[in-house]
Amino acid sequence: MKAYIHILVLFFSLSLFSQVEKIEPPFWWSGMQNTELQLMCYGKNIAQFEISISDGITVLNRKKTENPNYQFITIDTKGIAPGKVTLSFSKKGKVLFSKPYVFKKRRENSSLRKGFDASDAMYLIMPDRFANGNSDNDSTKSTVEKVNRSQNGGRHGGDIQGVIDHLDYIKELGMTALWSTPLLEDNEPVYSYHTYAQSDLYKIDPRYGSNEDYKRLSAEMHKRKLKLVMDYVTNHWGSKHWMIQDLPTKDWIHVWGNGKKGFQRSSYRMETQFDENVSNFDAKACMNGWFDTTMPDMNQSNPLVLNYMTQNAIWWIEYADLDGLRVDTYSYNDKQAIAKWTKAIMDEYPNFNIVGEVWMHSQAQVAYWQKDSKIGAIDNFNSNLPSVMDFTLYDALTGMFYEDNATWDAGMIKAYKNFTNDFLYPNINNIMVFAGNHDTNRINEIYKGDLKKYKLAMTLIATVRGIPQFYYGDELGMMGNKDAKGDGDIRRDFPGGWEGDVKNAFEASGRTATQNAYFNFTKKLFNWRKNNTAIHVGKTMQFLPENNVYVYFRYTNLEKVMVVINNNPTMQEFDVARFSEMIQDSTSEEEILSEKRIDLTKKLKIAGKTSMIITLK
């Protein structure tokens, strides 16, 4: 009889134990700057228990929500040593069951990790379309959408192992950092390959690999002195996220009363975030509207939501040893809340870097979102965001190289005018410049496969202030038109990334002559850029374009680089005396792209639609 009772007690204890389905973060680290840790405990009717923690650790706050399946406790981790502690679940003063919780030892100098900066060139990939290194995980039992490479919008099977397999290619190209679009689980039934509708923020999508695979990617990159940047999504989660399926609180997401399960699409009018004359209706329509039907808009003004997201980002930085974050749709968030999120991360890692997607078409409006912006200060706002993306330069790039004949506002004057507004940015060297990404038509599609235009654009991107970001496949002349064929067309598979591909463009022998022409130019340009301090941290002096020829200099006290971009289709000849304040005593110097010496005592000749990069002593 006693044995029977013992079995019943054991069975009862185990059933109680199983009530704790998740504790997040799943583990933490000792010695963090912020010693307050919010633990989310989830399980059937978990709110009925009182939760305590061993070793005299103070519980600062307990929060039970209207959903009894959640309980949030905040503990003080100051002085906690690496090792296990015990979470005890009690009822009426009696401990019914316990769960271990682990604090790990941090990497040495983890808090002082250095993020990406202007000495880097960042390679952007969509992992599903880059390379398939492990075909066994193309489809999994736990995820709904299966591999279908024949569909532009389907999953194609690229994964983390495929990225690891080709890190040497990325390094050979001259890139020093990798930004992968999100790798966390996205369990939407269709169109899940882009992974921006995430269903579990602590889990790598199994079709890409495992959490351990992601950590291994980071380690392999660091062996090659490459930096890993995670694409982080704060504005929205996926409709299949397990917490969306069982909301902790009614206001965990923004719910609209239109009878469509809370959905109302965002107006996408980000100007409402700083418009002094904005109506409350319009401000809410942008900030609280859903990005899409499968992407519920998160309510970061709820402290539980904000703490959950903050700790999750820090958890990934520590766990995977990250070198930076790129934040999706940054300017759609509750701006006060996202500023707190950003500050919390930068307080923990003061030398880290975070770049936010602020897709706007005015320098003043983009600059508003950079840390310590004088424009933001007008309404007492500071985003704390170190870096923003230069979408206005991208706008200029898509048109100016088609404008052969310069006019008052056409041709290279567009580049010049873009840089005249640099004074608006508080940290001009920490903005990201690019000629395309996973949301834009391919730059080579825009240029209709014109290699000369590509070279002009890349010369500009590689030599102006800021951090160049490069989109995978552009170095092969890859095309893609989302307006005509959908997003899948600008996210084509990298040739050679799949077993059985006819051509392998990861190898010179597998590339066509045209692809090698694109690749070799890109390789030469960005490998040269790696070691030029004037390009990384130098100041800029630009001269008004004449005859569609644009000349500017990047310089420090020790180095100078002269860049000449001839956007005119015909050869141009001009007197360099106009640039004497920068050229000074230089006479004969090396031109990087042609590897020829340039006589700066004579008139300078430059062929149509070509560029020069001249290093000055």
Question: Which positions are annotated as active-site residues?
Answer: 328, 357
Cβ contact 545:436 at 8 Å:
no
First to last CA, the chain: 94
Cα angle vertex 421, ends 418, 425, to 5°? 120
Burial class (CB in 10 A: 0-12, 13-18, 19+), 210: middle
Spell out a b/e string for 113-122, using b for 16 or more CB atoms within 10 Å of the CB, else e: bebbbbbbbb
Distances (CA, A) of 373 to 173, 324, 333, 341: 35, 21, 18, 17
Quick one: three-class SS letters along 255-266? CCCCCCCCCCEC
Q: How many CA atoms lie within 13 A of 28 on its CB side?
A: 25
The two three-digit tokens of residue 409, written as one number: 């506002």
* Helix 451-463 with 391-400: angle, nearest 10 deg: 150
335-337-341-343 Cα dihedral, nearest 10 degrees: 70
* Helix 513-529 with 451-463: angle, nearest 10 deg: 10
Nearest to 415 by CA among 575, 611, 251: 611
SS3 476: helix
What is the C-alpha to C-alpha distance for residues 502 and 291, in angstroms, rounded to an integer? 38
Tokens 């209207």 sit at which residue?
66
Cα R_g (the chain), whole angstroms: 27
